[in-house]
Amino acid sequence: MKFTLQQLGLVDALPEPVYDNLTQLASDVLRTPVSLVSFVDFENDREFIKSHRGLGEPWATEQETPLSHSFCQHVVRKNAPLVVGDAPNHPLVKDNLGISALGIIAYLGVPVYTLERLPVGALCVIQGSRRDWTDGEIASLQQLSNCVTDAIRLNASLITSEQLRQEQRDFTYAISHDLLSPANNLFMLLSELKEEGLSRDGRNFLDIGIETTVRMKQQVEDVLEYTQTIGNDDAHKTVDLNMLFDEIADDLKAELKTTAVLLERGDLPSVVGSEVQLRSLFRNLIGNGIKFRALNRSSFVRVSSHHDPSSQFRRLEFEDNGIGMAAENHERIFRLFGRLHVREEYPGTGVGLALCRRVCLNHSGTLRVSSEVGAGAVFTVSLPRRPI
């Protein structure tokens, strides 16, 4: 499950003893006047200083610097230690404004990581004079940075546990409310049938009972599929998304012919993940595009990939030219049992898109939608790059 820096309390947050103890220890072990635990917020062009020892003003009070003053950004970008003995003559940082503003001459920084092994910041030590860092000093700082990473991961695990408990509570309520209603309807209808026998009215009641039973069964199956993805970390392997798409397209041949929807794909990447969950993700997002097609024009569902070598994520887009939705519903559709239409118009249980978002979260990714009424929709899946 992926969290933002804000959700983890790593930016725009009060100091915490666990990080303060580690910066103090880093200064003591490395014998430097300044040490930092900082997190790089590329989106807002800043480095947030979660903890420090010996940092001067105004930076100590403001707890952040612009990236123009940041050495730690290079640690995150390269996902590797940055060893600088003489900053004004170092090719990577010689023009960095932190040299004059913060008095950085010698710098040693190592990455710290999230639960998903994504580098998000650095533990670093700084001094205002030249220094030749030894291999032993680099190794010592790396060991201390592991403690910072452990603290981040522990916090993420605690947040995840609480969220899963809340989802389980919500699910228990949903079971008692949404699933019992069809069961009660079925009981009353079949009771009427038993009372009256198989007369014409009885047969009508029987037809209604069958429809209710089918709907209840589908709802139960969808909910069970969703619950199986909560907190699920099943075995991950390399999944060829082109092959996965083609298999789903074959399964949907009859429906595509009946609905006259054109299903297209671009060249999709291979990713590391759960094939079962990714198949469910593709099936639901493609099926969503087919279901909510516009009847007054030729319909398509298109799946494509957008490659950005500088990004840590692979982006997939599921685009359709269907009926679309209003902006105020963009989050509502991802809620469990969240529906925008009555069942008579568009059958379904309101589980599919909640399941899709859960699959993305299980892969440390995200799922968002961009749509307007009458203008179709684009569902964007972002999955972290991992070695294949």
Q: Which CATH number covers residue 366? A: 3.30.565.10
- On whether residue 202 sits in a domain, the answer given is no
Euclidean distance between CA atoms 143 and 138, whole angstroms? 9
- DSSP letter (8 states) at residue 377: E
Q: Which CATH number covers residue 26? A: 3.30.450.40
Encode pLDDT of 19-44 as tens digits.
999 999 999 999 999 999 999 999 89
* Percent above pLDDT 90 for the chain: 42
Are residues 243 and 120 part of one domain?
no
3-state secondary structure of 112: strand
Domains: count for the chain: 2
Please name which of 236, 241, 267, 272 lies closest in space to residue 387, comparing C-alpha atoms.
Answer: 272
Confidence of residue 342 (pLDDT cuts 50, 70, 90): very low
Are residues 42 and 127 part of one domain?
yes
Mean pLDDT calculated for residue range 341-360:
68
Encode pLDDT of 182-227 as tens digits.
766 766 666 666 666 666 666 676 676 666 666 666 666 656 655 6
Element (H, E) at 140: helix 135-174
- On whether residue 7 sits in a domain, the answer given is no
What dihedral do alpha carbons 231, 232, 235, 239 form, nearest 10°?
-100
Q: Which residues of 58-88 are buried (b: 16+ CB within 10 A; e: fewer)?
A: ebeeebbbebebbbbbbbbeeeebbbbeebe
Tokens of 335: 């809620």
Residue 89, pLDDT above cutoff 50: yes
Three-state DSSP string of 271-286: EEECHHHHHHHHHHHH
- On whether residue 107 sits in a domain, the answer given is yes
- The CA distances from residue 27 to 49, 146, 152, 215, 300, in Å, are 15, 16, 20, 64, 60
- On whether residue 216 sits in a domain, the answer given is no
Element (H, E) at 292: none
- On whether residue 213 sits in a domain, the answer given is no
Is there a contact between 226 and 351 (Cβ–Cβ < 8 Å)? yes
Are residues 382 and 246 part of one domain?
yes
Residue 65, pLDDT above cutoff 90: yes
Residue 58, pLDDT above cutoff 80: yes
Is there a contact between 62 and 152 (Cβ–Cβ < 8 Å)? no
- On whether residue 316 sits in a domain, the answer given is yes
Is there a contact between 132 and 105 (Cβ–Cβ < 8 Å)? no
Are residues 258 and 120 part of one domain?
no
Are residues 139 and 264 part of one domain?
no
This prediction has a pTM of: 0.51
- The CA distances from residue 329 to 21, 333, 341, in Å, are 45, 6, 12
Please name which of 36, 42, 80 lies closest in space to residue 56, comparing C-alpha atoms.
Answer: 36
Residue 53, domain extent = 17-158
Are residues 24 and 116 part of one domain?
yes
The CA angle 210-252-321, to the nearest 5 degrees, is 100
Euclidean distance between CA atoms 148 and 75, whole angstroms? 15
Please name which of 221, 172, 209 lies closest in space to residue 349, comparing C-alpha atoms.
Answer: 221
Encode pLDDT of 319-329 as tens digits.
999 888 888 77
Is there a contact between 373 and 324 (Cβ–Cβ < 8 Å)? yes
What dihedral do alpha carbons 385, 386, 387, 388 form, nearest 10°?
-90
Burial label, 166 (beta-carbon count in 10 A; 0-12, 13-18, 19+): exposed
Encode pLDDT of 222-274 as tens digits.
566 556 665 555 567 889 999 999 988 888 888 888 888 899 999 999 998 88
- On whether residue 90 sits in a domain, the answer given is yes
- DSSP letter (8 states) at residue 296: T
Computed over every residue of the chain, the mean pLDDT equals 84
Of 123, 158, 193, the residue at which a domain comes to its end is: 158
Of 158, 176, 197, the residue at which a domain comes to its end is: 158
Phi and psi at 375, nearest 5°, equal -120, 20
Residue 277, pLDDT above cutoff 60: yes
Q: Which residues of 230-267 are buried (b: 16+ CB within 10 A; e: fewer)?
A: ebeeeebeebebeebbeebbeebeeebeeeebebebee
Euclidean distance between CA atoms 222 and 345, whole angstroms? 19
Of 133, 158, 183, the residue at which a domain comes to its end is: 158
- On whether residue 191 sits in a domain, the answer given is no
Mean pLDDT calculated for residue range 3-11:
80
Are residues 377 and 269 part of one domain?
yes
Please name which of 123, 64, 74 lies closest in space to residue 94, comparing C-alpha atoms.
Answer: 74
* DSSP string covering 154-205: HHHHHHHHHHHHHHHHHHHHHIIIIIHHHHHHHHHHHHHHHHH-SSHHHHHH
Confidence of residue 344 (pLDDT cuts 50, 70, 90): very low
Residue 102, pLDDT above cutoff 90: yes
Are residues 131 and 278 part of one domain?
no
Confidence of residue 111 (pLDDT cuts 50, 70, 90): very high
